[in-house]
Structure 1
Amino acid sequence: MTTAVVLFTSDLRLSDHPPLRAALRAADEVVPLFVQDPGVRAAGFEAPNRRAFLADCLASLDAGLRKRGGRLVVRSGPVVRETAAVAAECGAAEVHLAAGVTRYAHHREEGLRTALEKDGVELHVHDAVVTAVAPGTVVPSGGSDHFAVFTPYFRRWSDVHLREPLGAPRKVRVPAEVRSEELPRRADVPDVSPDVPKGGEDAGRRLFQRWRREDMAGYEDDHDDLPGDGTSRLSPFLHFGALSPAELVHLARERGGAGAEAFVRQLAWRDFHYQVLAARPASAEKDYRTRHDAWRSPKQAEADVTAWKEGRTGYPIVDAAMRQLRAEGWMHNRARLLTASFLAKTLYVDWRVGARHFLDLLVDGDLVNNQMNWQWVAGTGTDTRPHRVLNPLVQAKRFDPQGDYVRRYVPELREVAGRRVHEPWKLPAEQRAGLDYPEPIVDLDEGLKRFKQARGRE
């Protein structure tokens, strides 16, 4: 009886799972393994909202395996030690896992390869599991190892032939003697935001099918509409790998139309960031393209940063977005752009401060996309217009014209009529007095002037 181990990481699903299918082909029995690694917690990436969603994903994965005669094996401890121990316990000849792009993922793979080779166990690392197109699959002509601009990347990405999605296996036999800890439970996670959605492959597939049926057609026109919220909200499921990006591309292309094409483009943006960070892993913390910024010191910016985090900046569209983040562990993409621009450019605060706060709360707090999107907005990343500043009033009037998004998340302003909700400081004094809403913490013109001076644009 031959045995293989599948180490699940950011690929918590059964459908379209190349490592699992390869292990099932190679062995009579398979150990589906998830390791609760203290290294993730030590690195600061185990935020409560993601822990809660992860618990749902693991429960869904275990339930799917049990329907097929198997179960999920959970262990706690350093991932290399625990994986090697499980392989030894069941006499596995192979371990399969999905390739990652972060430094942590690379160190994990290197450690596993070294430890397993000592025991005569072969490690198989599978590409294009957490992305639709693996980093390094398409590269520019001329010798560069990655694309630094999205549009030419997208043209080449679009020409790549994606593998056909794999169905979920019908049966998974797991050795009875392999010990497992109890699965983590959402109910045991403290400090979870009140409106964090339910995770797991089944929930993700239901959400996608409903959105594909009802809203995908309008995505091209509606994806920036803040109150309408025509986005798919699939990013948490993609972050945990409960859905396959390659399968989503296939299903969207089958549907066709401008909305489907716009959705596929967003999946390509995700892959674009993965290939950037794979080539430049230091960009998780350091400027991809330095602008030699002399960011305001923590002491100088402390009050402004606190107001930004709490949604008390005096700019309703910014505050609504920050409160949505705190309540749901999620934020509309347009809102992410304008709140990031407000912090990094209007307040001139180091983008890493904002990126860290987002990682503390986002269910989809993906190190790759979070950091690279923050760098894009801050002008230190791949944006071809690094000095652009998003004016929150212009953004509000364009993407929340009647103020419905603001009223949804800023209850102090729910009684303010029409567009005046975006500029409450223009209300008559007697109305303003009863709002319990702050004055703006910065004048937009002054913030713009400070940014331009700092970047040498004035």
Structure 2
Amino acid sequence: MRVSLALFTADLRVHDNPVLQAALKDAERVVPLFVADSGIRRTGFAGPNRAAFLAESLADLDAALRARGGRLVVRVGDVVEETCRVAAETGATEVHIAGGVSRYAARREDRLRAELAGDRRELRVHDASLTVVPPGALTPAGKDHFAVFTPYFRRWESFSVRGVVPAPDAVRLPDVGSAGLPRARSLASGSASPGRPAGGESEARRRLRSWLAGPLSAYDDRHDDLAADATSRLSPYLHFGCLSPTELLHRARAQDDPGARAFVRQLAWRDFHHQVLAGRPDAAGHDYRPRHDRWRHATKEFEAWQDGRTGYPVVDAALRQLRHEGWMPGRARLLAASFLTKTLYVDWRAGARHFLDLLVDGDVANNQLNWQWVAGTGTDTRPNRLLNPLVQARRHDPRGEYVRRWLPELRHLDATSVHRVPHLDAAARAGLDYPAPLVDLAEAAARFRERRRAD
């Protein structure tokens, strides 16, 4: 009896899963395995929001497998040691895994390949599981990755994307033992955000149906409207692989309207960042394009930024939403990151760490490289651009609805008054329980330009 092992990592689904499909195709019995990896916890990457989402996603995956006659096999410990142990126990000849782009994922693959080869077993890595276009499939002449999005996107649009793989009808396991499904508190300490999204493929597909049924068509016009909440909110499900980016691409392209085309472009940005990190793994913690910044060590200002008490309402609303939901729309992330790195001139790594502590969709490629893009140390072709939070608020929250939603101390104000809050004097602000601005915007802009020029 031929046995294969499907090692789930960031592909927690049964629909359009090339790893599971390949394992089922090559063997009479398959072990769907998840290892609660002790190495992840040591890195500090397992925040409470992602841990809670992961636990729910694993429970949902187990239910989907049981509906097909199988179940999820769970082990706890070092992912390489436990995978090799299960392969030995079941006599599996092959281990299938989705290819990752982080340095951690690369080391995991290298270790697995070496250990399995020592037992005459094979590791098969599937690079078209976590992204639409595999990292490394598109390269400019003489280089291993694209550093500018626009030429990458032109090539990406014409790439021959694989078809969608159907969910299996049946999954048959060999005799193998399993630990219980992980609970959130066993994966990470701390409490999850009260408004975080629920995890799992079932929830992902429910949200996908709702998104395709109407809001997608308006995406091009409304995705930056902070009050409208008009983005897909699918990013956590893409991050954990509860939803396939390839299936999402095919279904969005089928609508062929301006909203769908704008949304597809965002999927391309996701792939772009993954191929950058695959080419430059050190960009997770080091400047992709060093500007020789001498960042300010402004502890109190950074803490005020974390708490949403900067005195600039749209920035504070974004940070408060992050703390409550473990999520925020792209425009809010951009404003929060720009304020920290350009207005306060604080190191992007501090902000990226705070986001990773809270974001359900906290992803090394997208989080770190988006932060670098905003900070001007990444792939942005205009590294010294400055975003004025007052201008951005009037443009993307003109009626102040987003601000009033997340700042209860300002809910009694009308739109005009909300936008005037940073200009109020101490006496007028006293009745609001809202802080004075941390910095004067003109002075902060001058400081940034002077320091960036000097550095």
TM norm structure 2: 0.98
Select 2:178's aligned residue among 177, 180, 184.
Answer: 180
Q: Tell me, what secondary structure is at the counterpart of 2:213?
A: helix
Q: 1:354 to 1:429 in 2, by over 3 A?
A: closer
- The Cα offsets for residues 357-382 of structure 1, whole Å up to 9 and x where unpaired, read as 00000000001100000000000000
CA distance in 2, matches of 1:102, 1:190: 25
Map 1:236-251 onto structure 2 (within 5 A). 236-251=236-251
Distance 2:424 2:365 in 1: 42
Q: d(CA) in 2 for partners of 1:414 and 1:12?
A: 40
**Following TM superposition, by how much is the alpha carbon of 1:187 offset from its aligned partner in structure 2, in angstroms?**
7.5
Q: Is the 8 A contact 2:429 2:436 kept in 1?
A: no
Give the deviation of 1:185 after TM superposition: 3.0
Find out whether 1:147 has 2:138 as its counterpart: no
Q: How does 1:95-114 map to 2 (within 5 A)?
A: 95-114=95-114
Number of the residue aligned with 1:449: 446
> Could you give the per-residue CA deviations for residues 283-320 of structure 1, whole angstroms, max 9, x where no partner exists?
000000000101112xxx00000000000000000000
1:196 matched residue in structure 2: 196
CA contact under 8 A between 1:420 and 1:427: conserved in structure 2?
Answer: no
Displacement, 1:427?
4.5
Q: Whole-Å Cα distance in 1 between the matches of residues 425 and 386 of structure 2?
A: 30
Amino acid at match of 2:148: V
Q: CA deviation at 1:243?
A: 0.5
Q: Which residue of 2 aligns with 1:348?
A: 345
Q: How far off is 1:356 after superposition?
A: 0.3
| Residue 401 of structure 1, aligned match among 398, 408, 413 | 398
Look up the equivalent residue of 2:177 and give its one-letter code.
R
Higher deviation after alignment, 421-430 or 161-170: 421-430
C-alpha contact (below 8 Å) 2:48/2:184 kept by paired residues: no
Alignment of 1:2-21 (within 5 A): 2-21=2-21
Structure 1: distance between partners of 2:29 and 2:230:
43
CA distance in 1, matches of 2:418, 2:383: 30
Structure 1 position 425, deviation (Å)? 4.0
* 1:241 shift after superposition: 0.5
CA RMSD of aligned residues (A): 1.3
Aligned-pair CA distance for 1:424 = 1.2
Give, in angstroms, the shift of residue 422 of structure 1. 2.5
Compute the displacement of 1:132 (Å): 0.3
Aligned residue for 1:164? 163
Shift of 1:184: 1.8
* Residue 225 (structure 1) aligned with residue 225 (structure 2): yes
SS of residue paired to 1:96: strand
Tell me the SS of whatever aligns to 1:75: strand
User: Where does 1:420-439 land on structure 2 (aligned, <5 Å)?
Assistant: 420-427=417-424, 431-439=428-436
Q: Look up the match of 2:283.
A: 283
SS in structure 2 at match of 1:423: helix
Contact 2:36 2:182 in 1 (8 A): no
**Structure 1: distance between partners of 2:412 and 2:422:** 15
Distance 1:423 1:108 in 2: 52
Cα separation, 2, equivalents of 1:308 and 1:433: 20
Deviation at 1:419, TM superposition (A): 2.5
Aligned residues of 1:220 and 1:262 also touching (Cα < 8 A): yes
**C-alpha distance in 1 between matches for 2:37 and 2:426:** 55
Counterpart residue type for residue 422 of structure 1: H
Residue identity opposite 1:117 in structure 2: A
Letter in 1 for 2:257: G
AA matched with 2:269: W
Instruction: Return 5+ residue gaps in structure 2 as ranges.
Output: none
Partner of 1:72: 72
User: CA shift at 1:423, angstroms?
Assistant: 2.8
Distance 2:145 2:190 in 1: 41
CA–CA distance in structure 2, aligned partners of residues 13 and 156 of structure 1: 28
The secondary structure found in structure 2 opposite 1:196 is coil
What does residue 268 of structure 1 align with? Answer: 268
How is 1:2-151 mapped onto 2 (pairs within 5 angstroms)?
2-140=2-140, 142-151=141-150
Offset from partner CA, 1:33-55 (integer Å, 9 cap, x none): 00011111111100000000001
Q: Which residue identity is paired with 1:180?
A: S
Letter of the 1:35 partner, please give it: V
Match of 2:326 among 306, 314, 329: 329
The residue number in structure 1 matching 2:411 is 414
Unaligned runs of 5+ in 1: none
What residue identity is the alignment partner of 1:33? L
CA offsets 1:97-147 (integer angstroms, 9 cap, x no match): 00001100000000000111111111100011000000111111x311111
The whole-number CA distance in structure 2 between the counterparts of 1:79 and 1:422 is 51
Maintained 8 Å contact 1:295/1:348: yes
**Match of residue 305 from structure 1:** 302
Aligned to 1:292: 292
Residue pair 2:321, 2:328 contacting (<8 A) in 1 also:
yes
The secondary structure found in structure 2 opposite 1:255 is: coil
Paired residue type of 2:280:
R
Name the CA distance, whole Å, in 2 between partners of 1:236 and 1:21. Answer: 23
SS at match of 1:456: helix
- Is 1:380 paired with 2:394? no
Deviations 1:172-194 (A, max 9, x none): 0012x311111123477641100
Partners of 2:368 and 2:27 lie apart in 1 by 39
After TM superposition, give the deviation of residue 433 of structure 1 in Å. Answer: 1.9
Deviations 1:151-204 (A, max 9, x none): 1100000000111100100000012x3111111234776411000111111100
Helix, strand or coil: the match of 1:32? Answer: strand
Does the 8 Å CA contact 1:420/1:426 hold for their aligned counterparts? no
Q: CA deviation at 1:428?
A: 7.1
Distance 2:425 2:384 in 1: 36
**Residue of structure 1 aligned with 2:361, choices 364, 368, 371:** 364
